[in-house]
Structure 1
Amino acid sequence: MTQTRTAKVERGRSHLGPALQLVHTGRAPTRAVLTAELGVTRATAGAVAAELEALGLIAVDPHPTAVGTQGRPSHGLSVAPRGPVALAVQVHADGFRAALVGLGGTLVGTSAGCGTVDADPAQVLGEAVGAGRELLERSGRRCAGAGLAVPSAVDEPAGTALNPLHLAWEPGVAVRDIFARCLDEAGVELPGPHPPPGHTANDLNLTALAEHRHGAGSGARHLLAVGTGHRGVGGALVLDGRLHTGSSGLAMEVGHLTVDPHGRRCHCGSRGCLDVETDPLALLTAAGRDPGPETSLLDQAAELIRSEYETDAAVRSAVQLLVDRLGFGLASLVNILNPDRVVLGGLHRRLVEVEGERLRAVVADRSLWGSGGMPIRAASLDHGALVGAAELAWQPVLEDPLTVLGN
């Protein structure tokens, strides 16, 4: 690095992280926009972009195509197409999925494993990390970190899964430590002078984070996310760009909001919770279908809506029943939280796609704030929890890319 470039980088080093975050989230597509967003000179913005490019994180295009503009177009900025990736793992009631996720929330590759999740978390986490290691080897790309999504509230700072209700794990299992050990045993090399252990959080929290940065929640100030994956229902709240997790990581357990006092017995001991009234098993049961062992419950429920919603009255009635129950729950949450956007994931994403008007009407009828046209949208990311797990892994890089990846 020349003396002149070194001086420019030192002046702009504090802007490396914010600049990378702007490119990562698509808010700085050109160097001109980056200059304006950072509030720096063109020279400083150029030095910052050049350093991020040298780290292999972004690509700078000096000759972008100008569309509808006058004068010379600004340099284009994008994430590097062959840059580092984060290793993301999601464990759910029907198995696991591992993925490599690049900057910008781009899925580079995935690998799934289905079957009964053993009572020992090390068994499934070892398999998932092994699958991730194979993806890394095939990709030939550098690993920027690792993140894990689990269907449980995760206690902070201990990293324990407090209520993995739909897994055979014991409550309070030290899932973050086990994940870190599996990464070490698999030989996954993590960057930085003091590589952190694998990051771990609740799957719906991570889905909300991913949707806020890269999906249907982009631009929302107060985002409420609710979703159901393979079993159960979760919720999350993003306030001014940050996840609201409460004092110890346990906030927003919305699955245990009662929507039918005379409904099914829930795992928590109550009756008629969202967790058991609006998940894939609830839909299959309401439609008179016996779940099969071939694929996950989520896949079976989604396929039922896709293939039979238009032609089978029982399926249509089941969908409407779940939509009404979901609407009751959302109305209560909207009354309490007053979000400016709601994003629905998992099976709930399919419900809003086919019965969105009905759902919005239920929420508007029962809430103080939902009648004002508050957007209720389907999640736009196919693997939001994995993208969110990768966001955990990327966060140290986004905060200080030179320290973490400079060597």
Structure 2
Amino acid sequence: MTHTRTRLERGRNALGPALELVHTGRAPTRSVLTTELGVTRATAGAVATELQTLGLITVDSRPSAAPGSQGRPSHRLAIADDGPVVLAAQVHADGFRAALVGLGGRIVATAPGCMTVDADPAQVLGEVVAAGTALLRDSGRRCVGAGLAVPSAVAEPEGTALNPLHVAWPAGAPVRAIFNRCLADAGLDVTGFCGNDVNLAALAEHRHGAGRAAAHLLCVATGHRGVGGALVLDGRLHTGSDGLALEVGHLTVDPQGRPCHCGGRGCLDVETDPLALLDAAGRTPDPEASPLDQANEVVRAAYAPDATARDTAARAAVATVIDRLGLGLAGLVNILNPDRIILGGLHRRLLEADPARLRAVVEERSLWGRSGTIPILACTLDHNSLVGAAELAWQPVLDDPLAARGEWDLIVVDTPPSRSALDFLDA
């Protein structure tokens, strides 16, 4: 009996790790799940069945065999298409966007982005939740959590926005508390979480995108304004003692450069963001349009086959900003020694436009350039900060799927109410 009880406990303890393996695409079959978990085939089967009963994954017990393969193929595991979702939202300098995101980082639905951000965070987050609630009503999906990405360092665990430099919110705004109050006012009985937008983008890319399998992942990105950075170590975000780690936007790359919002001068934040590129190219920003879209258009025009003289000047501006970015990345590499760098937003476009130039600057100005090469890749996920915000909301489910069963009031099918698939390991 002692041995059987141990098997049962192992099965229940394996639910969270098993769900995370399927969630991140690392266990596409029951055979792989068995190996990754280090359990018996029977336990892996019971775990997969329980996750299916919870409505989180699907198990295909009769998958088609690949041409030329021998033996019966292993059961296929996939995220349930009609499973629960979380409400995810991102606030940035020029607006916000709300979405419904399922397991696997799948964006189920999005609301059109709003281009106004009120100075009162309660007003903005109320609109965010209203947009998300409308998506839930239209989809008919069950919501099990909520996550929010904001353009500020976020103190942990309080969830206060410490330095929202690019939105007019007061420093120290209790964003997480406001978010949860808005969710409750909208009748959503879920817990809301919040985090820095670039941190969450890095988390999403590490689990579902260009950062998969990296042990020490450095992410640097610029969105509508400003520059952010994030570091993922052994699958976990490194946020420092108070949530302020990796404020790479305030790394100086030109001591004689532009004044920065932080009080310094020549920071990445003001030397390599969209407004910096527009300024270097001699373009006056259109206040009615997104700075990121305008900067991306400068990059596109600069490298177009039919580039004009004006576009040639833009190409010189792009090269200047690439060199500044390369200097910043080289300094970060010397300090952090990552095994992969991923770039998002405008930085992704700069890498795609002239990868050789950027990599050459980083190699020349960093110690590892003399002994090896660290991959510099473009982020691959659309709306990766939204997906990262969803990861915050999914984490409690990944930690303990069985506890979530009671919270969601799921109807358990094909199994007596008093027992789960794992209980049959006692037999």
- CA distance 1:346–1:227, change in 2 (3 Å): same
List per-residue Cα deviations over 1:139-196 (Å, max 9, x = no partner): 1111121000000000112211010000101101101101111111111232xxxxx3
2:58 partner amino acid: A
Structure 1's unaligned 5+ residue stretches are 1-5, 191-195
2:228 partner amino acid: G
Q: Distance in 2 between matches of 1:118 and 1:270?
A: 27
Q: TM-score, normalised by structure 2?
A: 0.90
- Equivalent residue for 2:26? 27
Shift of 1:305: 2.0
Aligned residue for 1:145, secondary structure, equals strand
- Equivalent residue for 2:182? 182
Aligned residue for 2:288, secondary structure, equals coil
- Equivalent residue for 1:266? 260
Aligned CA-pair RMSD: 1.6
Aligned residue for 2:266, secondary structure, equals coil
Equivalent residues in 2 for 1:218-229, closer than 5 Å: 218-229=212-223
1:257 partner amino acid: L
- Equivalent residue for 1:210? 204
- Equivalent residue for 1:360? 359
1:396 partner amino acid: P
Q: Could you tell me which of 229, 237, 243 is aligned with 2:237?
A: 243
> Is the Cα–Cα contact under 8 Å of residues 9 and 47 in structure 1 kept in the other structure?
no
Q: TM-score, normalised by structure 1?
A: 0.95
Equivalent residues in 2 for 1:105-184, closer than 5 Å: 105-184=105-184
1:37 partner amino acid: E
Q: Distance in 1 between matches of 2:52 and 2:214?
A: 29
1:237 partner amino acid: L
List per-residue Cα deviations over 1:106-150 (Å, max 9, x = no partner): 111111333331110011111111111111111111112100000
2:89 partner amino acid: V
Structure 2's unaligned 5+ residue stretches are 410-427
Deviates more, 1:107-116 or 1:231-240: 107-116
1:279 partner amino acid: D
- Equivalent residue for 2:82? 82
Q: Size of the alignment, in residue pairs? A: 397
Aligned residue for 2:224, secondary structure, equals coil
> Is the Cα–Cα contact under 8 Å of residues 101 and 387 in structure 1 kept in the other structure?
yes
Deviates more, 1:234-243 or 1:134-143: 134-143
1:258 partner amino acid: T
- CA distance 1:106–1:370, change in 2 (3 Å): farther
- Equivalent residue for 1:193? none
- Equivalent residue for 2:299? 305
> Is the Cα–Cα contact under 8 Å of residues 89 and 149 in structure 1 kept in the other structure?
yes
2:336 partner amino acid: L
Q: Distance in 1 between matches of 2:352 and 2:201?
A: 18
**Percent of aligned positions with the same letter in both sequences?**
72
Shift of 1:10: 5.5
Q: Distance in 2 between matches of 1:37 and 1:11?
A: 14
> Is the Cα–Cα contact under 8 Å of residues 9 and 48 in structure 1 kept in the other structure?
no
Q: Distance in 2 between matches of 1:306 and 1:58?
A: 41
Shift of 1:309: 3.0
1:107 partner amino acid: I
Shift of 1:11: 5.0
List per-residue Cα deviations over 1:42-96 (Å, max 9, x = no partner): 1111110001001110011112222253210000001001111111010000010
2:282 partner amino acid: G
1:79 partner amino acid: I
- Equivalent residue for 1:3? none
- CA distance 1:7–1:219, change in 2 (3 Å): closer
Aligned residue for 1:37, secondary structure, equals helix
- CA distance 1:370–1:237, change in 2 (3 Å): farther
Aligned residue for 2:63, secondary structure, equals coil
